Structure 1
Amino acid sequence: LPDLIIKRHPDLVIVTLGLNDNFSYDVAATAIRTQIGADLRRMKDALPRARFIVVEPFWYTDARPRSVGIISGWVKAAAADIGADYIPGASHWIEHHPEWMASDGLHPNDAGYAEIARKVDHALRRLGL
């Protein structure tokens, strides 16, 4: 993914990362932490004039494994390391709303994605975008 972003030379990069890493956290925590920082650093180094906005990793159920908070902390720290704006709270945006989940139990449905879009829009407006 970083290569695709870099190739387009954007002025603004909005990224969220880390959700899927929760599923391999128990066996790859160190590699996950390293890769989060490396991916953000690589994009920032290649796009030094771009503004970066990093969104806290999403989470999809009311039950939250310990890894969600840990990985979110790594993402926040990596965002700070590259001077990115950070949008917190995304891991809570659709909790307690099973009606916003698709039948696979993993992804939001259209209503869930609409709620996420509203939250992102609000956060971006607060950042002046």
Structure 2
Amino acid sequence: MTDTGDLGFSNRTGRPPGRVITAVSRFVPAIRRVQQQIEPYARRWEERNRAELERTGPLCVVLGDSMAQGVGASRPECGWAGQLIDRLPGWRLVNLSQYGARVDDVLDAQLPAALRLEPDLLLCLIGSNDLMQPKHQDGVGNRYAALLDRLPPGTVVGNQPGTFAAALQVNGLIDDAVQRRGLVLAELRDPRTRHWRGKLASDRFHPNDRGYAAIAEVFTEALRRAGYRDAS
């Protein structure tokens, strides 16, 4: 796997896509088109990360899954992370997200790599792959609590727009950590990120450019509340 600079980190988890989505994509071109973005989008972020680490300036590091990779968008930079950094002129962006990432991937790989970089700003949006697959829901509360306890104060954390039990549990943990540990909430329980008509890619799961723009808007508002005045 390709490393990001000297971090010993890859924008790939090393796990293949799930068997069901792999099988379906063979027969459904709309899903196959999105799946075909996975490898080139990961490669693009690894290339960009190396270039960003060679520059100077304040550093923003992103933790997350395929949504931060921009899978479903017209190009990687049109994911929420890419659209957000355009609103922070002068900042560098290192995107440590991975397609298919779960909370454990952030705990075990992404967050340690991020902390080694000593970022000026840390952003985290994770949990969809734990919450949307029943086999991964068991214990998600404990895993998320461990993650929230390790995120540095000031980290901007996106919550979950879903209203089912596991999502509500995770959101309760996030709300508590925001109050208790000084994290910053990106409030995705917002009509812009709960209603997805016209905002989904052809696989009907990942956002498209417009959907990612809505997520970027929510994170931008969180940054303004946290005092990042350059966020526009």
Q: TM-score, normalised by structure 1?
A: 0.73
Three-state SS of the structure 2 residue aligned to 1:13 is strand
User: What residue is the counterpart of 2:157 in the other structure?
Assistant: 54
Task: Specify every segment of 5 or more residues in structure 2 that has no aligned partner in the other structure, as ranges.
Answer: 1-109
User: What residue is the counterpart of 2:44 in the other structure?
Assistant: none
Q: Does 1:83 align with 2:182?
A: yes
Three-state SS of the structure 1 residue aligned to 2:155 is strand
Change (3 A) 1:27 1:128: closer
| 1:102 to partner: Cα distance | 0.8
Change (3 A) 1:113 1:128: same
User: What residue is the counterpart of 2:88 in the other structure?
Assistant: none
Task: Specify every segment of 5 or more residues in structure 1 that has no aligned partner in the other structure, as ranges.
Answer: 45-49
Contact 1:25–1:32 (Cα < 8 Å) also in 2: no
Moved over 6 A (4+): none
Change (3 A) 1:111 1:73: same
| 1:108 to partner: Cα distance | 0.4
Q: Does 1:67 align with 2:166?
A: yes
Change (3 A) 1:19 1:81: farther
Which deviations, in whole Å up to 9, do the C-alpha atoms of 1:101-122 show, x marking residues without a partner?
1111211001111121122212
User: What residue is the counterpart of 2:127 in the other structure?
Assistant: 18
For CA contacts below 8 A with separation 6 or more, give which structure has more relative contact order: 1
User: What residue is the counterpart of 2:225 in the other structure?
Assistant: 126
| 1:27 to partner: Cα distance | 6.0
Whole-angstrom CA distance in 2 between matches of 1:71 and 1:23: 13
Change (3 A) 1:91 1:20: farther
Percent sequence identity over aligned pairs: 26
Change (3 A) 1:114 1:121: same
Letter of the aligned partner of 1:128 in structure 2? G
User: What residue is the counterpart of 1:47 in the other structure?
Assistant: none
| 1:28 to partner: Cα distance | 4.0
Whole-angstrom CA distance in 2 between matches of 1:28 and 1:84: 24
Whole-angstrom CA distance in 2 between matches of 1:27 and 1:114: 28
Letter of the aligned partner of 2:113 in structure 1? L
Change (3 A) 1:79 1:117: same
User: What residue is the counterpart of 1:40 in the other structure?
Assistant: 148
Change (3 A) 1:20 1:70: same
| 1:42 to partner: Cα distance | 2.7
